[in-house]
Chains A and B, each alone.
Chain A
Amino acid sequence: MMMTLKQQLDLLNSQKASATELTQEALQKAHALQDKLNAFVTIDDSSLEAAKSADERRARGENGLLDGLPIALKDIFCTDGLKTSCGSKMLDNFVAPYDATVVSKLKSAGAVSIGKLNMDEFAMGSSNENSFYGPVKNPWNTQKVPGGSSGGSAAAVAAGIVSATLGTDTGGSIRQPASFCGITGLKPTYGRVSRYGMVAYASSLDQGGPMARTAEDCALLLSAIAGHDPRDSTSVNRPVDDYETALSQGVAGKVIGLPNQYFGEGLDEGVRKVVDDAIKALESLGAKVVELDLPQQSLALPAYYVIAPAEASSNLSRYDGVRFGYRAENPADLNDLYCRSRSEAFGEEVQRRIIAGTYVLSEGYFDAYYRQAQRLRRMIYNEFATAFESVDMIVGPTTPTVAFDLGQNTKDPVAMYLNDIYTITANLAGIPGLSVPCGFSDGMPVGLQILGRPFEEGTLLAAGHAYQRATDWHTQQPEGL
């Protein structure tokens, strides 16, 4: 029986279960399913100690918001004393001497992290096949990918190992795997959640966020991790909304825009049908549905694949084999140390993006590519801003298809990138996006994406919550695990 965070919290509050019991169970499942799913890079058995402390705090009545709840972290969040690999051979031996801000926040809320979750190397990927630790399998069908880059985070929740995890989303890396694995995932507004201690892929696009079974649990987790961080210059100094209260807003009276561009060519018919039904359900909950035309959305993929690699090429220069991370053996000289360490320890996709990013920033190409992409970014932003003057939310499928077979797209990067076609716009514009499970196509889960105005996570979560109270897609569980 899979539970939500809320249900587990009720058990703890009513003393029907202890944090130690919940954590023990989570650890057992994690170990038991590791061969099958490969969701974890590190399973942290010492988390039982943290669970015991949580039980003691609860006994003393000193429990925090998430006290004693077992969760797990994408292996991109630095954890003091526990390996943070970012899915890469480069950081296979890296133990951060600090906690990411969100990790400290979760710790101080009392959450118990049972380990670090598998992911595409440096968060570059849409299938979790780019991990140094091997691909994660989709719990609904282990022949299928779980999505990426937060594939381990999605699979661990879908398989019921933990009720909630943290992921990161640079071009859809929370929402797409959430969609593929039939769970709920929220990419918050850029700047809402601190990036300190979160290994950078593309700094102006990266944002950490919750992945869970329900919108309600996402609200709970977001409350714990959101907020200004003086150590992150790009975290926004504005009060954090009360997301749990916001949940009760519902969706009645809200105007929902359906962009033609999210329902056009490339959208799988099965997915379209499921999403259409979900939209009808929202209408029946009182939402007003209007059509939208967002022609600039087609510019998002090109703009993204210039900006993200450009930033990545610079962000990943620090991995040079000098101060941490992988170092090639017996380097002939400094240049050999650099080139071999990086070539031996970065995977193919990471190297491809570094080279593409270096190219678009280099002399003679900067204006045609990087600067042009930044201009398109503003056009996309402006288009959203205009749209949000007349609609409260923008809704569509999270991905054009359901989860595909392992190995299906690995030879064709562009086909792989097309998976993110509906999600990357939110990263470029910095707006929040939620994916909620809304049905199945070919036996695999389908996600409904809800985009909103900056800092209106509450509105999205309320819509998701209202939808989940009226439907039971989010309670479906994979069989045969």
Chain B
Amino acid sequence: MQWETVIGLEIHAQLATQSKIFSAASTAFGAEPNTQACPVDLGMPGILPVVNQEVVRMAVMFALATNAEIGQRSVFERKNYFYPDLPKGYQTSQFEFPIVGKGKVEIVLEDGSTKVVGLTRAHLEEDAGKSVHDLYSEFSAIDLNRAGTPLLEIVSEPDMRSAKEAVAYAKKIHSLVRYLGICDGNMQEGSFRCDANVSVRLKGESEFGTRAEVKNVNSFRFLERAINFEVERQIDLLESGGTVVQETRLYDPTKDETRSMRSKEDAEDYRYFPCPDLLPVVIEEADIQSIRDALPELPDQRLNRYQSQWQLSGDDARLLVQDRSVAEYFEAVANQADPKLASNWMVNEVIVRLDKDSIEIERSPVGPSQLAALIARIADKTINGKIGRQILDALWSGEASDVDSYIADKGLKQVTDTGAIEAWVDEVIANSPDQVQQIKEGKDKVMGFLVGQAMKLSKGKANPAQLSELFKAKILG
């Protein structure tokens, strides 16, 4: 049987405001428990919410960046349920009239083709607090610092057909909110959370299958694994004659599996109704225009610019623009050194090293100026690429800090003295009669061996291109 996977994502992006959505308490991460929970966040008697203007501005930015409809009159409603980290017994959210309506984003698939994913809506709501279950044997401990942190919940259409597509979409949204500066995107700290609605159906079927909602996915890697696990689980279930039940499932990254959290039967009846403590949020056309005018350059625009301004390849440019900080790092390098070389070094060296060490570019041990200095020395042939990588390693480990002084201290400068180079070339020719003969017979590939031998003699400081030229001249005349 041929199965088709159908995925829709609900992404909760914490908005990067100073204060909470309805109170003037700080949203800073990591404070002592309940030190950033004021009477509004604690749901104390008689206390009332007032909407933070910044969350409205940020939601409109998101709408503009995704070509979405803007709910010019959006309404906060109450979603009623009991949970200890939900202080008021309801979450103030939006339901019937969200601030962002239908929109769309374009994602690039692995084969280089593009796909448009529809956005159903995005709405503002308050985050809940945190329940800590492992501090006490008999109690759960409630910390309400996070309660009231503004969230933009971004709901996609069920347009994704594979885990990879879902990840590409999630990365796209991640990239967008970071570009817009409306979310720090930190998945570890929970600033950017993905829930996946996953279902399967037989290919050609027009109805959707019953879906399960997979929660608690805090990295793109886990998102892909959680979806793949869930898809397999559902297919196995259906092929063995079972049925999928609509439920919420929790992804457990240590076991790499999803497990049932609550089924639809115990699903709450949320009793949404308009929050009588708040009035409709009305956004004027002029406000939208001024937010539009102040929008930063977005990834797709930047991609086009890199290709036209610096003639970068589509693949490289896409890799560079995805993360706003990476793009900004790259531009800082490209403005001080050859952009093409800068792109190569970013893609092949810096990003690879960051991934290997699992660090964000903000914490890269090598800054853009250092990389630019390194590239400049390659461009002006002071060093060759191989030495360049060696220096980058030294910079990365902290052994080196200044490129030029490191080159000087370690004597890594490329040898340009033709006398010395000729001597190495002659020595290699004398020691490698077989290979010399092969080159004379037209076997060009052997040249690499000769150059390599000469490089060894030069301790890596010769210019390989120059060596190659010299070998050719001496052997072929």
Complex Cα spacing A408 to B276, Å:
34
Tell me the smallest distance from the CB of A343 to a CB of chain B, in Å. Answer: 14
Any B CB within 8 A of the CB of A158: no
Question: CB-CB contacts of A349-389 with B at 8 A, as 1s and 0s?
Answer: 00000000010011100100010000000000000000000
CB pair B88–A200 under 8 Å, yes or no, is: no
A202 vs B142: C-alpha distance when bound (angstroms): 28
Question: Cβ of A318 and Cβ of B276 under 8 Å apart?
Answer: no
Q: B90 touching A233 by the CB < 8 A rule?
A: no
Bound-state Cα–Cα, A177 to B80, Å: 33
Complex Cα spacing A196 to B48, Å: 6
B273 beta carbon closer than 8 Å to chain A: yes
Q: Is the CB of B271 within 8 A of A358?
A: yes
Please name all residues of chain A whose beta carbon is closer than 8 Å to the beta carbon of B84 when the two chains form the complex. 320, 322, 334
Neighbour of B45 across the interface among A91, A203, A204, A320, CB < 8 A: A91
The answer to whether A394 has its CB under 8 Å from any CB of chain B is: no
How many residues of chain A are within 8 Å of chain B by beta carbon? 44
- Complex interface: stretch among B36-44, B173-181, B445-453: B36-44
With CB as the reference atom, state the residue of chain B lying closest to A197. B46
Q: Is the interface of B mostly helix, strand, loop or mixed?
A: loop
Q: Which residue of A lies closest to B45 (CB)?
A: A199
Contact with B along A332-357 (1 / 0, CB 8 A): 00100010000000000000000000
Residues of A near B51 (CB, < 8 A) are: 233
Cβ contact within 8 Å between B89 and A318? yes
**Chain B contacts for A197, CB-based, 8 A:** 46-47
Contacts of B50 in A (CB 8 A): 230-233
A202 in contact with B269 given A233-B50, A314-B90 (CB within 8 Å): no
A203 in contact with B269 given A233-B48, A323-B43, A323-B44 (CB within 8 Å)? no
- Known contacts A204-B276, A361-B273; A96/B45 CB under 8 A: yes
Chain B residues with CB below 8 A from A366, complex form: 271, 273
B residues in contact with A316, CB < 8 Å: 89
Chain B neighbourhood of A311, CB < 8 A: 273, 276
The answer to whether A318 and B48 touch across the interface, beta carbons within 8 angstroms, is: no
Q: Give the CA-CA distance A97 to B82 in the complex, in Å.
A: 24
| B278 part of interface (Cβ distance < 8 Å) | yes
Q: Contacts A317-B80, A320-B82, A334-B84 hold; do A310 and B46 have CB atoms under 8 A apart?
A: no
**Closest residue to B279 on the A side, CB-wise?**
A233
Partner of B48, one of A77, A231, A362: A231
Q: In the bound complex, do residue B273 and residue A318 qualify as a contact, i.e. CB atoms below 8 Å apart?
A: no
**Interface: B355 (CB within 8 A):** no
Our pick among B39, B90, B140 for the contact of A97 (Cβ within 8 Å) is: B39
Residue B78 lies at the interface, judged by CB distance under 8 Å to chain A = yes
Q: Is the CB of B273 within 8 A of A338?
A: no
Task: For chain B, residues 109 to 123, give those with C-beta under 8 angstroms from any C-beta of chain A.
Answer: none
* Interface mask (B300-340 → A, CB under 8 Å = 1, otherwise 0): 00000000000000000000000000000000000000000
Q: How far is the CA of A98 from the CA of B49 in the complex (A)?
A: 15
Judged by a CB distance under 8 angstroms, whether A434 is at the interface is no
Complex Cα gap A323–B269 (Å) = 24
Q: Mark A201-233, 1 if CB is under 8 A from B, else 0.
A: 011100000000000000000000000001111
Chain B residues whose C-beta falls within 8 Å of the C-beta of A313 in the assembled complex: 80, 271
- Give the interface SS of chain A, mostly helix, strand, loop or mixed: loop
Of residues A100, A323, A366, which shows the largest number of chain B Cβ atoms within 10 Å of its Cβ? A323
Q: How far is the CA of A234 from the CA of B51 in the complex (A)?
A: 12
Judge whether A198 is part of the interface by a CB distance below 8 angstroms.
yes
In the assembled complex, the CB of B419 is this many whole angstroms from the nearest CB of chain A, namely 82
Indicate with 1 or 0, residue by residue over B262-274, a CB within 8 angstroms of chain A CB atoms: 0000000101010
Shortest distance from the beta carbon of A363 to any chain B beta carbon, whole Å: 5
Q: Is B417 an interface residue (CB 8 A)?
A: no
A440 beta carbon closer than 8 Å to chain B: no
Candidates A76, A202, A362; contact of B271 at CB < 8 Å: A362
Contact B78 A314 (CB under 8 A): yes
Contact bitstring B35-67, A, C-beta under 8 A = 1, else 0: 000010011111111110000000000000000
B45 / chain A contacts, CB cutoff of 8 Å = 78, 84, 86, 91, 94, 96, 199-200, 318, 324
> How far is A76 from B80 in the complex, measured between Cα atoms in Å?
24
Binary CB contact string for chain A from 298 to 327 against chain B (1 if under 8 A, 0 otherwise) = 000000000000110110111010111000
Residues of B within 8 A of A200 (CB): 45-46, 277
**From A77, A78, A203, A322, contact of B142 by CB (8 A):** A322
- Which A residues touch B49, using CB under 8 A? 233
Q: How far is the CB of A192 from chain B (nearest CB, A)?
A: 15
**Contact among A202, A204, A323 with B87 in the assembled complex (CB-CB below 8 Å):** A323
Is A144's CB within 8 Å of the partner chain B? no
A203 touches B277 (CB 8 A): yes
The closest CB in chain B to the CB of A317 belongs to B89
Q: Of all chain A residues, which has the CB nearest B84?
A: A322
- Cβ contact of B278, chosen from A84, A233, A370, cutoff 8 A: A233
13 contacting pairs across A/B (C-beta < 8 A): A78-B45, A84-B45, A197-B47, A199-B45, A203-B276, A203-B277, A204-B276, A231-B50, A233-B51, A234-B276, A314-B78, A318-B88, A361-B80
> 6 tightest A-B contacts by CB?
A317-B89, A203-B276, A204-B276, A361-B271, A318-B43, A197-B46
